[in-house]
Amino acid sequence: MKKIFLFAGLSFLLVGCGQGTNEATAEGDRAGSETNERENWPETLRFADTGLEGLEELQREFGPFKDALEEVLDIEIEFFAVNDRIIGATALEYDQVDVLLAGPSEYAQIKSVVPGAEPIVGIERADYHAAIIVHEDSEYQTLEDIKGTTVAMKDAGSTSGHIGPSQILIEAGFDLDRDVSIQLLDGARIEAFKNHDVEVLATGIKDYQQMVEEDGEGKYRLLAEGEPLPNDLFVASPALDDGFVEELTAAILENQDVILSSILETGENDKYLEGQFVDAEDADYDSMREAYRVLGMELD
């Protein structure tokens, strides 16, 4: 009996040791696999937003987003400031930035300059379309009536403030060089309209909603509204490893509640309220390319 007991004990000891060794080996393999998967990851991920000018503004609006993405990816995020929409494409072209947050129009420009740039994830926005606005007491009742007038828009290349409104007019049969005088007034466009310096405002529907909220009903009238515009999106540099881009895409989609909340936290990105992250495909932005072509601003 004692002999059998000793053999049983020895057998148990050997099995126990074997299990411990196997578990340690498995843990080592997993650690090694994770290390191999991350060996092509950037040490620091450089991020920019094409719609913001300057580092201070970027830090103010996207500080919580930076913290959230660092936590999700376990990687350092570094801000890269751009001065205008075009600089973002140039920064991507010369490997100065890894990920851009861009509007649909900007993405079409970026892709023409950096063909290897790839969409990562789109941000679906509520009420994202352009509109043509007049004063409530305006004599203009149809789009045809505004021929011969001056129309205030945002800045060149703005999706909802230039490309979208131009699409509305072109689809209505307007020759933009002859039928209207377009003034790209950027941040001054709304005040110019309110002060009657211009009688027609062509901009995003959110601007109309904000004006009504500020000044009350019965002051402004929608003359026309455009179709929904493509989503904003995160764009990846072609220099990034494909495996990392896949992991980044999955991480954003799987943690979208946390990451989207971080973008909204500062109160500076209310355009993304009620938004969500969605898959993004290059073909989603063909309408932007067509708009540029019709406007005589054909991309390469």
Token reading at 88: 């973002």
Whats the size of the chain, residue-wise?
300
User: Residue 201 gets which letter from DSSP?
Assistant: E
For the residues 138-151, what does the mean pLDDT come to?
97
Using CA atoms of 70, 51, 46, 99 in order, give the dihedral in degrees to the nearest 10. Answer: 90
- For 107-141, write each residue's pLDDT tens digit: 999 999 999 999 999 999 999 999 999 999 999 99
What φ, ψ does residue 96 adopt, rounded to 5°?
A: -100, -10
The answer to whether residues 231 and 278 touch, using CB atoms and an 8 Å cutoff, is: yes
Average pLDDT over residues 181-201: 97
Model confidence over 271-291: pLDDT tens digits?
999 999 999 999 999 999 998
All domains of the chain, ordered by start, with CATH?
Answer: 44-126+230-294 (3.40.190.10), 130-225 (3.40.190.10)
Identify whether the C-beta of residue 81 lies closer than 8 Å to the C-beta of residue 55.
yes
Confidence bin at 16 (pLDDT 50/70/90): very low
**Which among 259, 298, 252, 300 is positioned nearest to 278, based on CA atoms?**
252
Kindly state the percentage of the chain with pLDDT values over 90.
Answer: 76
Identity at 239, one-letter amino acid code: A
166: which 2 tokens? 């131009």
| Strand-strand pairing, 150-153 and 220-225 | unpaired
Q: In whole angstroms, what is the distance from residue 288 CA to residue 296 CA? A: 13
Alpha helices in the chain (DSSP H): 2-38, 55-73, 85-93, 104-113, 164-171, 189-194, 205-215, 242-254, 256-264, 286-294
Residue 49 host element (H or E): strand 44-49
State both tokens at 68: 């959230």
How large a percentage of the chain has pLDDT more than 70? 87
The model carries a pTM of 0.81
Question: How confident is residue 27, by pLDDT bands cut at 50, 70 and 90?
Answer: low
The one-character DSSP state at 143 is G
| Cα–Cα dist 86/131, whole Å | 25
> Cα–Cα distance between 20 and 23 in angstroms, integer?
5
Type of residue numbered 251: A
Asked if 148 contacts 179 with a C-beta cutoff of 8 angstroms, the reply is: yes
Query: Is there a contact between 95 and 117 (Cβ–Cβ < 8 Å)?
Result: no
Are the CB atoms for 153 and 185 separated by under 8 Å?
yes
Token readout for 257 is 């509640």
Helix-helix angle 286-294:164-171, to 10 degrees = 60
